[in-house]
Amino acid sequence: MCYLIESAAARAVKEELTAKEGALEGARNALVLGYQDPQAGAFVPASSVLLRTKMRTEKQEAVRRACYKGVRTIGPSVTPGLSEVVKMRNQLAKAQGFTSFYDMKCTQAEGFGEETLFGILDGLEERTRPLMEAARARVAAEKGAAALEPWNLGYALSGDVTAAQDPYFPFEDAVDAWARSFAALGIQYRGATMRLDLLDREGKYSNGFCHWPQVAYINGKGTFVPSQTNFTSLATPSAVGSGQSALETLMHEGGHAAHFANVLQPSPFFGQERAPTSVAYAETQSMFLDSLVGDAAWLARYALNREGQPMPWTLLEQGLRAKRPYAVLDLRAMLAVPYFERELYRLPDSELTAQRVAALADEVEMRIQGGLSPRPLLSVPHILADESSCYYHGYVLAEMAVWQTRAHMLHAYGRIVDEPRVGAALASVYWAPGNSQPFLGLVEALTGAPLSGNAWVTHLQEDLEAVVASEKAAYDVALRAGPARKAGQGADLNMRVLLVHGAQVVADSGAAGGANAEQRFALASDTFKAWVRARA
């Protein structure tokens, strides 16, 4: 982000702000998180991730409650610094003519201001409010009113579907399933090289990531320069759920990679993740593609167990019934972040105190989520740092665009999974322009309508029995048709794939034998599968 700060006074404010932001970050990092063991009474150190996982999985309510209390200690550690930082961020933004810091960040990242943004979000908020209320009433009716307590909600909703479905997502088959389904969508990587380092190992950087040493572009001589992508994840193949999360990661990161492999612009500049390539624009691509893993049409074709049998309908139905009625609660949790930040940056300086900020967070949780949140707003890390503050709405806009794109394609082509026109449309409308065009314009160009929450709301409003019936019909059609490319048959994505483990190259489609790209990929994928199985 590049600020043009002209006056010396503004520069002084900026310097003081940077110091205060450092202190805020320091206060958050210095906090020792954990929970008070309700039986032994001892303090058990635990990260925020672990505390939230325990709230979903721990059987004893007293422990879950202690974990929630632990997460709530983040708030008091950040509110004094945050209230000061908010004042100064606003001061800087107002000096540059913006109504607030939120307005400035939104305008710089998205190309439109806070007012336009909330014009879009308000419609979604109003229309999903009754759905949120109905979902909470359903939880209370099915599992008792206590299930709505923030330390109980996640636990009450986390069934055992993940474990039951696990055998249908063998970890070693994830690369093959991703490549075959992308190829069947007509996705091409234009000669790209992709290096995948999927397994955890000692000393590996503890965060999955994806980066592009080279983005695609057309050079001064008119020659296309293909992209290079590296991505890593921290999978432990033996852990329950690891195959499904590997697959979702491949579909998601593979979506980002496909986007940046297909930018057809005269400079690598257009493939950089800078304005107007916003979070919303980038995530639309990856979230659209990973959304397919939830579709019966995809699961019936690609979710096969080690014997090659597809996931049975009963298991799929169990998952739908356990998750779909509560999907709106995820939307509301996402929406709470931008609403909190907007109101935070609208508080007059006289009200920017630690107590008021803490109270505001609770008020927004109650209003948007219907009760205190299992993930307290003040524990959301994005709200603190300059780069990540006031951008969370990007995920909401991306999800809106995903459902709008899906609805458009289902209407235009009758299907998405195994439909080659899907990849062609993504490549020509969403990907080729890179960041030469703004996000809202691209969504409208592909779907023929301005971005709205309509398609997402329609999806969430659909009656559960109607969803079960239509997914059953899609499942039956998919099972009869089978996948465009059978398991193990390989796929030609116009890409060289290296499967690596640190410095070790486990398999390389560029070096594999085989008469054509499809066979070379199949051989590399078989080598990788055998290597994973041998390690188990």
Footprint of Zn ion (CB under 5 A): 286
User: CB of 285: closest distance to Zn ion in angstroms?
Assistant: 8
DSSP state of 311: P
Nearest to 299 by CA among 312, 289, 288, 286: 312
Kindly tell me which of 98 and 182 has the beta carbon lying closer to Zn ion.
Answer: 182
Least distance to Zn ion, CB of residue 256, Å: 6
* Number of CB atoms found within 10 A of residue 427's CB: 20
Residue with tokens 């965060």: 207
Neighbours of 126 (CB within 10 A): 11
- DSSP state letter for 223: -
The nearer residue to Zn ion, 76 or 208, going by C-beta atoms, is: 208
Nearest in space to 525 (alpha carbons), one of 494, 493, 506: 506
The structure tokens listed for 368 are 């948007």
Rounded to an integer, what distance in angstroms lies between the CA atom of residue 335 and that of residue 102?
15
DSSP state of 310: B
Report the nearest approach of Zn ion to the CB of residue 286 (Å): 4
DSSP label at residue 349: G
Cβ proximity to Zn ion: between 398 and 524 the closer is 398
Rank residues 253 and 365 by Cβ distance to Zn ion and give the closer one. 253
Closest contact distance (angstroms) between CB of 276 and Zn ion is 17
Q: Which is nearer to Zn ion, 244 or 286 (CB)?
A: 286
**Residues whose CB is less than 8 angstroms from the CB of residue 92 and which lie 6 or more positions away in sequence, other chains included:** 3, 5, 10, 13, 14, 17, 101, 104
Least CB distance to Zn ion at residue 66 (A)? 33
Residue closest to Zn ion, measured at CB: 286
**Residue 436: CB partners within 8 Å, gap ≥ 6?**
265, 270
Both tokens assigned to 62:
């007293």
Backbone angles phi and psi of 501, in degrees to 5: -135, 95
Minimum separation from the CB atom of position 282 to Zn ion (A)? 6
Instruction: State the nearest-atom distance from the C-beta of 152 to Zn ion, in Å.
Output: 30
Q: Tell which residue, 110, 1, 52, 111, has the closest CA to residue 385.
A: 1
State the maximum Cα–Cα separation within the chain, in Å, rounded to a whole number.
Answer: 73
The DSSP H or E segment spanning 218 is: strand 217-218
Q: Which residue's CB is nearer to Zn ion, number 300 or number 398?
A: 398
Taking residue 459's Cβ as centre, other Cβ atoms within 10 Å add up to: 16
When the beta carbons of 330 and 476 are compared against Zn ion, the nearer one is 330
Task: Give the nearest distance from C-beta 283 to Zn ion in angstroms.
Answer: 5
Q: What is the CA radius of gyration of the chain?
A: 24
Comparing CB distances to Zn ion, the nearer of 128 and 233 is 233
Nearest to residue 131, comparing CAs of 318, 361, 330?
330
Residue 141: CB minimum distance to Zn ion, A: 36
Nearer to Zn ion, 107 or 286 (CB): 286
Shortest distance (Å) from residue 460 CB to Zn ion:
22
Cβ–Cβ under 8 Å, residues 63 and 38: yes
Nearer to Zn ion, 24 or 251 (CB): 251
Would you state the structure tokens that stand for residue 125, as one six-digit string?
């908020």
State the minimum distance, in angstroms, from the CB of residue 98 to Zn ion. 28
β-pairing, 228-235 vs 224-225, is: unpaired
Q: How far is the CB of 258 from Zn ion (least distance, A)?
A: 12
**Closer CB to Zn ion, 174 or 360, in the complex:** 174
**Closest to 341 measured CA to CA, from 163, 161, 89:** 89
Residue 304 has which token pair?
A: 């096969």
Could you give phi then psi for residue 84, rounded to 5 degrees?
-70, -45
Amino acid at 495: M
Q: How far is the CB of 287 from Zn ion (least distance, A)?
A: 7
Q: Which residues contact 242 (CB under 8 A, 6 or more apart)?
A: 171, 235, 236
Nearer to Zn ion, 316 or 400 (CB): 400
* 98 or 212: CB nearest Zn ion: 212
